[in-house]
Amino acid sequence: MNLTFLRRPSGLQFGGVDVRQLAERAGRTPFFAYDRSAIDARIRELRNLLPAAISLHYSIKANPMPAVVHYLAARVDGFDVASAQEMALALDAGTRPLEIGFAGPGKSHDDLRRAVACGVHVHVESETQLRLVTAIGWDLGVRPNVAIRVNPDFKVTHSGMRMGGGPAPFGVDADQVPALLRELATREVSLAGFHIFWGSQCLHAATVIEAQQHSVELVLRLANGLAEPPRFVNLGGGFGIPYFPGEAPLEVKVVCEAMHGWMSRLREHLPATKPVLEFGRYLVGEAGIYVCRVIDRKVSRDKKFIVTDGGLHHHLAASGNFGQALRRNFPVVIGNRPEEVPSERCHVVGCLCTPLDRLADDIELPEVRIGDLVVVKQAGAYGRSASPLHFLSHPEPIEMLV
Amino acid sequence: MNLTFLRRPSGLQFGGVDVRQLAERAGRTPFFAYDRSAIDARIRELRNLLPAAISLHYSIKANPMPAVVHYLAARVDGFDVASAQEMALALDAGTRPLEIGFAGPGKSHDDLRRAVACGVHVHVESETQLRLVTAIGWDLGVRPNVAIRVNPDFKVTHSGMRMGGGPAPFGVDADQVPALLRELATREVSLAGFHIFWGSQCLHAATVIEAQQHSVELVLRLANGLAEPPRFVNLGGGFGIPYFPGEAPLEVKVVCEAMHGWMSRLREHLPATKPVLEFGRYLVGEAGIYVCRVIDRKVSRDKKFIVTDGGLHHHLAASGNFGQALRRNFPVVIGNRPEEVPSERCHVVGCLCTPLDRLADDIELPEVRIGDLVVVKQAGAYGRSASPLHFLSHPEPIEMLV
C-alpha cells in the first residue's frame, strides 16, 4: 500500500513509494533503502545484453543485506563470497555450493575448512592455500573443489581500482601458475576453474573489453595442456557506476557486443568451459539510497551548514574518507521536495564531532528546512557494510528492501 | 599469572604480559589490547604536570570499550561524550551527571531529551539546540544544565585537525555568542560553562599554548557581563601523539608550564570558574596495540607480501584510508620475535579483497613466517570503533584491557 500524501507536494518516489513513507516504515532516520525493482531491471537489462552462455554472479561484498542476497539468489547464477560469513549468507539463500566461489588473499584455516566442508569452490590464491586446502580435504575425507585465482600479467589503465598487472597480494602471478598447476596435479583436489580479477569500478568500455580479451587469452595459455579443461573461468567484474558530475555511465551494450569475439575463442579452444562474470556494485549500487534527516541549520562565518542525523559512520564512502584521494559529492537531493529548484549554496554535514563528517560540500539545494529528508543516491553498494558503524556510538542505520 | 615461554625467545611484553600469551587469552586473532598501567602512568604524568586546579576529562570517543571507560572513571574528573550511548557508558561507570559534558553538532531530539533527563551538561551548539533543550526541560519539568560550545575566532596553524577559526558546523561562532547569551537569559536553563574546541592531534607545543591562551581570553570576553560566572570552562584538548617516523612527541611539560599564565588570568577575572581540559587519544592512543597473525607470505613480481588475518575492517586508520591525504605506516613489529634485526623488505597486508587493505607498505622486518604475530602500535584510540567492522563480513576483533 503506497500512501499518497495529501496537502503536500510529492516526495521522491523510490521503488514506487514516497520516501517520506519509507522514513515512517523505518521508524527513524537514517536508513538505507534498496529498490528491488531497480535491481531486477538491472539484471534483466544485463541478461538481454550478455551472451546467453555467460553465468552472472553476484559479489556479496557489495551489499550483504540478507534480504538483498535472498532476492538475488533467485535472479543470478551464483555468488562470489569473500568470507565464511558471506558464504553462509549464500548457502542460507539456497544457493548450491558449486555456484559459490570463495576468493580472498587472506583466508584463514577456519575459513578454508568451512569452505571445503561445504563444497564451495575455493579460489586458491597461493601455495599456502593449496597446501591447507589439501590437508583439510585429507582430514575431512573429501576432495576439495578449487579454482586458481590468477594475478594477471596484463595491466589496464582506466580501471577505477586496478587489481592486477603489478605486484599484488591477490591471486597467483600468471607466470607462477604453471608450477602451481603441476603441484596441484599431485594433490587430491579437483581443479574446477580459473579466476582472473583485473580491477573494479571501471567506466571505460574499451578498458573492460581489452581486459576481458586479455583474460581469455591468459586462460587459454594457462589451460593449455591440462588433462581436463576447467569447468568455469571467472573473468572478474569491473563494471562501474557513475558517482560524480561528469562521469558517464559505462557503455555496457558495447562491452557485451564485444564479448562475442572472446566467447568464440573460448568456445573453439575450451568448449566445455563456462564463462562467469561477477557483478557487485553494478547490480546494486544505483538501486540504493541513504536517507537522513535535517536536524539543524546554521550559519558560520557566512557559510551555511545543514546538519543531519546521518554521517560517515553510516556512509563513509559518501563522506570521501574511504580510499578517495580527492573528495567529491555523491548526488544529493531533498527527498520531500525533489522538484524544488536549487536556491541556496550550503554544506551538508553529518552529526559527528569531526570535520571529516561531510555529506555534500558547497552544493546548491532548495532552501533546506529542519525536518527535511536528505537523500544520498548511488548508495546501494559499499554503504552500511563499509562504514565505521560504532564511531562515536550513534545508532546504526536501518536497512530495508523496498 | 604471566607465563614464561620455555625454549623460545622472549616475545613483546605488553602490560607485563607476553603478546603470545595475550593471543591465547583472546582465543583468536586479531585482537586489540590496551595496557591499563600505561593509561594510569599517562594520567599520573599529566596530573604531575598540570596545575592542580585543572579538571581532567576523558573523551570517550577515543576508545569506548566499557572496561576502559570504567578504568578511567576512577582516574579522571569527568567525561566528554558525543552521543547518548557514550553518555550511558559514562553513567554506567558511576560518573556524576555534572561531570559529563555532551557535545556534538548534530544532537537529535532523542539525544537531547536523554541528556536533559539525566542532568548532564548539554553543550549547546546552535540556537536550535537551545530551543529544543528549553522545550524538553519545560516538558520534563526540569531545568537543563547547558554549556555553550564556541567556534573560536582564532585560528591555529599547526594542529593535526583544525576545528575552529573558520566556518564550521561545530559550536556557535564567537561573535554570535553574545546574542545567544541574551536569548539564553530569557530561558529556564542554567548556563554552567563554555566549551572551546580549537583542534586535535597537535604535536606542536607553541600551538597548544597559544590556543589555550586565546581560548581563555575569548572566555573572559564572553563571560564579561554575565550575571553569574560560568562554573567551568572546557578549553578542549588537542594533545597529539606521534604516529609516524620523524614525529616528535608533544612537549607536554612546556605546555603545562605555560598554563600558569592563563590560569592566573582566569583566577583573577573568573575565580569561581573551573578550567577543564579534555583528553582522548592522548590518554589511550599509545596504550594500545592491534595484533593480527601472519597467515600467508607470497612473492608477486619480486615484491614480498605478508598476508595477515587482520586488516582495515579492524583498523582503518592504520590502513591509511581514514582522512589521511598521504598514507604512512603506523609502527609495526613482529610480536613473537621483537629483538630480531630487520632483514627483509616487504608489504604487510590485511585479508580483504581490496588494494586498500594495507597495514605496512615497504617496511623492513625480520624474516616473517606464517604464524608470526604482527603488532601495530599506537592503536589505543580510534581503532576498532573507527573501522568498518562489517566490511566483507569477517569476524570482529577481540578487545581486552590488560
Return the CATH number at A71.
3.20.20.10
Q: A163, B388: Cβ pair inside 8 Å?
A: no
Work out the widest C-alpha separation in chain A, in whole angstroms: 74
Work out the mean pLDDT of chain A and round it to a whole number: 95
Those residues whose C-beta lies under 8 Å from the C-beta of residue B40, and which sit 6 or more positions away, are B75
Residues B359 and B275 in one domain: no
Paired strand residues for B278: B57
Residue in this structure with the C-alpha cell 581503532, named with its chain if needed:
B383
Q: Give the containing element (helix H, strand E) for A32.
A: strand A31-34
Is residue A4 one of the residues assigned to a domain? Answer: no
CA pair distance B192, B223, nearest whole angstrom: 11
Residue in chain B nearest A356 by alpha carbon = B323
Q: Which of A279, A301, A322 represents a domain boundary (last residue)?
A: A279
Instruction: Spell out which residues of chain A touch residue B124, defining contact as CB-CB under 8 Å.
Output: none
Instruction: Spell out which residues of chain B touch residue A387, defining contact as CB-CB under 8 Å.
Output: 388
| Facing B388 at nearest CB: one of A86, A388, A395 | A388
CA pair distance A197, A220, nearest whole angstrom: 16
| pLDDT score for B258 | 98
Is residue B1 one of the residues assigned to a domain? Answer: no
Number of domains, chain B? 2
Considering only CA atoms, which of A264, A142, A353 is closest in space to residue B82? Answer: A353
Is residue A180 one of the residues assigned to a domain? Answer: yes
Q: CA quadruple B333, B334, B339, B343: dihedral positive or negative?
A: negative
Q: Which of A279, A308, A332 represents a domain boundary (last residue)?
A: A279
Residues B195 and B225 in one domain: yes
Residue in chain B nearest A353 by alpha carbon = B104
Residues A20 and A93 in one domain: no
Average pLDDT over every residue of A30-53: 98
CA pair distance B166, B198, nearest whole angstrom: 10
Q: CA quadruple A19, A25, A27, A31: dihedral positive or negative?
A: negative
Q: B61, A353: Cβ pair inside 8 Å?
A: yes
Residues B348 and B230 in one domain: no
| pLDDT score for B263 | 97
Residues B296 and B242 in one domain: no
Is residue A17 one of the residues assigned to a domain? Answer: yes
Q: Which amino acid is at B198?
A: W
Q: Give the containing element (helix H, strand E) for A232.
A: strand A232-234
| Alpha-carbon gap: A81 to the closest alpha carbon of chain B (Å) | 8
E strands of B203-287, at which residues? 232-234, 274-279
| pLDDT score for B158 | 66
Q: A168, B323: Cβ pair inside 8 Å?
A: no
Residues A164 and A218 in one domain: yes
| Alpha-carbon gap: A344 to the closest alpha carbon of chain B (Å) | 17
pTM, two decimal places:
0.96
DSSP state for residue A141 in the 8-state scheme: T
Q: A388, B316: Cβ pair inside 8 Å?
A: yes
Average pLDDT over every residue of A107-117: 97
Considering only CA atoms, which of B391, B74, B227 is closest in space to residue A83? Answer: B391
The residue of A133, A195, A391, A399 whose CB has the most chain B CBs within 10 angstroms, and thus the best one to mutate to test that interface, is A391
CA pair distance B333, B366, nearest whole angstrom: 9
Ordered mean pLDDT values, 10 residues apiece, chain B (402 residues): 77 96 97 98 98 97 98 98 98 98 97 98 98 98 97 80 81 97 96 94 95 97 93 95 94 98 97 97 98 97 97 97 88 95 97 96 97 98 98 97 98
Per the structure block, which three cell numbers stand in for A239?
Answer: 563494471
Paired strand residues for A334: A374
| pLDDT score for B163 | 67
| pLDDT score for A392 | 97
Those residues whose C-beta lies under 8 Å from the C-beta of residue A394, and which sit 6 or more positions away, are A311, A313, A351, A352, B83, B85
Q: Please say if the pLDDT value at position A158 is more than 70.
A: no
pLDDT in tens, B262-295: 999 999 999 999 999 999 999 999 999 999 999 9
| Alpha-carbon gap: A330 to the closest alpha carbon of chain B (Å) | 17
pLDDT in tens, A191-222: 999 999 999 999 999 999 999 999 999 999 99
Q: B106, A347: Cβ pair inside 8 Å?
A: no
Is residue A303 one of the residues assigned to a domain? Answer: yes
Per the structure block, which three cell numbers stand in for B56?
Answer: 581532567
Lowest mean pLDDT across A85-89, A371-375, B196-200, B287-291: B196-200
Residue in this structure with the C-alpha cell 534483466, named with its chain if needed:
A44
CA pair distance A24, A18, nearest whole angstrom: 10
Q: B303, A167: Cβ pair inside 8 Å?
A: yes
Q: B107, A351: Cβ pair inside 8 Å?
A: yes
Instruction: Spell out which residues of chain B touch residue A103, defining contact as CB-CB under 8 Å.
Output: 353
Average pLDDT over every residue of A50-56: 97
Q: How many CA atoms lie within 13 A of B22 on its CB side?
A: 32
Bigger pLDDT: A312 or B159?
A312
CA pair distance A55, A77, nearest whole angstrom: 6
Lowest mean pLDDT across A158-162, A302-306, B58-62, B75-79: A158-162
Residues A350 and A322 in one domain: yes
Is residue A59 one of the residues assigned to a domain? Answer: no
Residue in this structure with the C-alpha cell 538475488, named with its chain if needed:
A72
Q: CA quadruple B240, B241, B245, B247: dihedral positive or negative?
A: positive
Specify the 3-state DSSP secondary structure of A385. helix
| Facing A167 at nearest CB: one of B295, B301, B325 | B301
Paired strand residues for A291: A31, A375
The residue of A85, A295, A303, A324 whose CB has the most chain B CBs within 10 angstroms, and thus the best one to mutate to test that interface, is A295
- Give pairs for B322-325: CB < 8 Å, separation 24+: B322/A321, B322/A322, B322/A356, B322/A388, B322/B382, B322/B386, B323/A321, B323/A356, B323/B161, B325/A325
Is residue B54 one of the residues assigned to a domain? Answer: no
CB B197 within 8 A of CB B125: no
Q: Are strands B344-349 and B303-308 parallel, antiparallel or unpaired?
A: parallel
| Facing A82 at nearest CB: one of B105, B355, B392 | B392
Q: What is the DSSP string of B112-164?
A: HHHHHHHTPEEEE-SHHHHHHHHHHHHHHT---EEEEEEE-S---SS-SEE-S
pLDDT in tens, A139-150: 999 999 999 999
Q: Give the containing element (helix H, strand E) for B308.
A: strand B303-308
* Domain range enclosing B358: 13-33+286-401
Q: Which of B279, B294, B326 represents a domain boundary (last residue)?
A: B279
Residues A268 and A296 in one domain: no
Q: Is B140 left (phi over 0), alpha (psi -120 to 50) or beta?
A: alpha
Cα–Cα distances (Å) from B257 to B51, B170, B197, B253, in that order, read 8, 29, 20, 6
Is residue A24 one of the residues assigned to a domain? Answer: yes
Per the structure block, which three cell numbers stand in for A303?
Answer: 557559510
Residues B109 and B228 in one domain: yes
CA pair distance A55, A230, nearest whole angstrom: 15
Residues A29 and A158 in one domain: no
Phi, psi (rounded to 5 degrees) for A18 = -65, 135
What CATH number should be reported for the domain holding residue B342?
A: 2.40.37.10
Residues A267 and A328 in one domain: no
Helices A66-73/A36-49 angle, 10° precision: 40
CA pair distance A80, A122, nearest whole angstrom: 10
Q: CA quadruple B306, B311, B317, B323: dihedral positive or negative?
A: positive
Q: Please say if the pLDDT value at position A315 is more than 80.
A: yes
Instruction: Spell out which residues of chain B touch residue A389, defining contact as CB-CB under 8 Å.
Output: 388-390
Residues B349 and B240 in one domain: no
